[in-house]
Structure 1
Amino acid sequence: MQTQKKTLIVVVGPTAIGKTALAIKLAQFYQTEIISADSRQFFKEMHIGTAKPSAEELAAAPHHFIDSHSIKTLFSTGDFEAQALKLMEALFKEHNVLVMVGGSGLYIDAICKGLDDLPEIDLAIREKLNQQLANEGIESIQTQLQELDPEYYEKVDQANPQRMIRGLEVVLSTGKKLSSFLTAKKKERPFNIIKIGLNTDRALLYERINHRVDLMMEAGLL
């Protein structure tokens, strides 16, 4: 008798579209758990400007990869792929369905499509880039990455200095763009993947985004 494949439901869409609310409803319906693929929500030091789920939302369904890491420690896309797949393997022993919500297209792709093995990095280059960030600010890192790997720059969270530095250290260490390590051939996963893409009227979406920004400003974003 053939064992039925497990299923990962992936909820994607623009910011403020309602991804978190739908993910919670799905998790409650299937009595399962949520895996965040939002690169800024991983970090416990980043509270303002990240639109993390509220305490009530976190209580409504089990969440993973929220406040799970420190921004002081490098956490790459490859690290997320490895850790998330290991977690999913364990969770699928208890659930037939899991929900992933994002967030960051690069991290969604890492789970749904897979990444090539990433190269070893020259630690001296990493240290130099960290010093550049400290001395010149994130704008210098953003500009350099946009020039050297525009494909990765367009997909990555441009407000996250770790992600910016990761892209630069790969191209400076290897001469190859980090975007080139995104697998062109989709890797086979031992589970089904269902993607749900949310969209709405543009005027309504902008209204929601503006309201969210107002709340962030009140919370001390600037």
Structure 2
Amino acid sequence: MSALPPAIFLMGPTASGKTDLALELMQALPCTLISVDSAMVYRGMDIGTAKPSPELLAQYPHHLVDIRDPLDSYSAADFCTDALALMAKATAAGRIPLLVGGTMLYFKALKEGLADMPSADPRVRAELEAQAAEQGLSVLHQQLAEVDPESALRIHPNDPQRLIRALEVYRVSGQSMTEHRQRQQILRTSGTSDPRNLPYTVVELSIAPQQRQILHQRIAQRFQSMLKLGFVEEVEQLRNRDDLHPLLPSMRSVGYRQVWSYLDGQLSWDEMFERGVIATRQLAKRQHTWLRSWGEIYWLDSLASDNLSKTLKYLQTYAIY
């Protein structure tokens, strides 16, 4: 048995039932729930992120929810710093860190560590965001192609978040993102680096419907429910702020950018709904792709009635339960 303390990763595509299983686990085990969701970190973004209700959050505290204003950025590095501190605190209290969500990049960064990249620079980022708003993303993509052709090939011209980050890395450090990654890879393969290893015995779980069509139906139903609950009004309140704009990472979240376009008159209601559902399905597909390449992972069917008992039995093999 490993001497490392236990931690649980509960992953899965959007609308797969992760939260329900997490709450059942919290009733059965002394768990501390840590959200792994790049959109739930933002305050005021509740309906479109399917954020648990205040009553549920009070009963079952979720860490890393409502910790940022939508104007602020929140990177994978930020997440790793916050999550590791919370995991250490939970372990010291004799509890099991239970990390739940669908932001696979965060899980990967926590498990494998991050390349040595410079921290975000608010001034540089603001300049790039202003340039994107005034001149368009194609100008930024051309700039990236000149200083970092490899990243320009990898990053889509209409992906503002990654475009801005890649240019930010170059402007802050004088080196391209590709150069940073190549140097990190050389250090790792030579054995001279000290990459962060996650100091836990991690049990990795994933929950999803076995049939993709069921997930698609759930996604459409949930998006419809969000609209009935006031999703458009939520985005309208955000849009009425003078400091928010559609190129911010928060406002690029799935669903929010489609509703924002609807409020700008660029989409009809039916177009907004269709594109919101399609974008969510595409997100779920990307999440599935990440998970299928993850390695050792225990899969659960969203529609099964005995997922808690199956999970507890699986945890026994790691001497967690």
Cα distance in 2 between the residues matched to 1:151 and 1:42: 27
Greater CA radius of gyration, 1 or 2? 2
Task: Give me the whole-angstrom Cα distance separating, in 2, the residues matched to 1:178 and 1:43.
Answer: 32
> What is residue 206 of structure 2 aligned with on the other side?
197
Q: Which residue of 1 aligns with 2:68?
A: 69
Query: Structure 1 residues 121 and 44 mapped into 2: Cα distance closer, same or farther (>3 Å)?
Result: closer
- Cα deviations by residue, 1:35-94 (Å, 9 ceiling, x for unpaired): 011000001132242121223432342210111122223322111111211121111111
More displaced stretch, 75-84 vs 203-212: 75-84
Does residue 20 of the first structure (1) align with residue 19 of the second (2)?
yes
Q: Which residue of 2 aligns with 1:54?
A: 53
Per-residue deviation at 1:121? 5.6
Q: 5 Å matches for 1:119-138? A: 119=118, 125-135=124-134
- Runs of 4 or more above 6 Å deviation: 183-186
Question: How has the CA–CA distance of structure 1 residues 104 and 95 changed in structure 2, closer, same or farther, with 3 Å as cutoff?
Answer: same
Partners of 1:179 and 1:71 in 2: how far apart? 29
Q: Does 1:215 align with 2:214?
A: no
- C-alpha distance in 2 between matches for 1:206 and 1:100: 25
By how many angstroms is 1:111 displaced?
Answer: 1.3
Task: Measure how far apart 1:98 and its partner are.
Answer: 1.4
Letter in 1 for 2:98: V
2: CA distance, partners of 1:81 / 1:15: 21
How much does 1:151 deviate?
A: 5.4
Distance 2:12 2:121 in 1: 36
Aligned equivalent of 2:39: 40
Structure 1 residue 120, shift from structure 2 partner: 5.1
Q: Distance in 1 between matches of 2:6 and 2:26?
A: 12
Q: Which amino acid aligns with 2:202?
A: I
8 Å Cα contact 2:4/2:200 also seen in 1: yes
In the alignment, residue 166 of structure 1 is paired with which amino acid? R
Question: Structure 1 pair 17/136, CA: closer, same or farther in 2 (3 Å)?
Answer: farther
Instruction: Quote the Cα distance in structure 2 between the aligned partners of 1:150 and 1:28.
Output: 47
Residue 123 of structure 1: CA displacement?
A: 5.9
Query: Which of 1 and 2 has higher RCO (CA within 8 Å, sep 6+)?
Result: 1
Aligned to 2:38, what secondary structure does the other structure show?
coil
Q: In structure 1, what is the equivalent of residue 108 of structure 2? A: 109
Q: Give distance in 2, aligned partners of 1:178 and 1:48.
A: 40
One-letter amino acid of the structure 2 residue matched with residue 220 of structure 1: F
TM-score (ref. length: structure 1):
0.78
Q: How far off is 1:172 after superposition?
A: 5.4
In 2, distance between residues paired with 1:44 and 1:191? Answer: 30
Question: Which structure carries more helix by proportion?
Answer: 2
CA contact (8 A) 1:13 1:198 kept: yes
Residues 125-176 of structure 1 deviation map (CA, whole Å, 9 limit, x = unaligned) = 4232120344367xx38x94898456577xxxx6xx6666334422555312
TM-score (norm 2): 0.56
Query: Which amino acid is the alignment partner of residue 93 of structure 1?
Result: A
Structure 2 counterpart SS, 1:75: coil
Distance 1:149 1:94 in 2: 46
Q: Percent identity?
A: 33
Count of equivalent residues: 211
Distance verdict in 2 for CA 1:117–1:197, change over 3 Å: same
Q: Say if 1:151 and 1:179, in contact at 8 Å, map to a contact too.
A: no
The alignment's C-alpha RMSD in Å is 3.3
Q: Which amino acid aligns with 1:38?
A: D
Q: Secondary structure at the residue paired with 2:49? A: coil
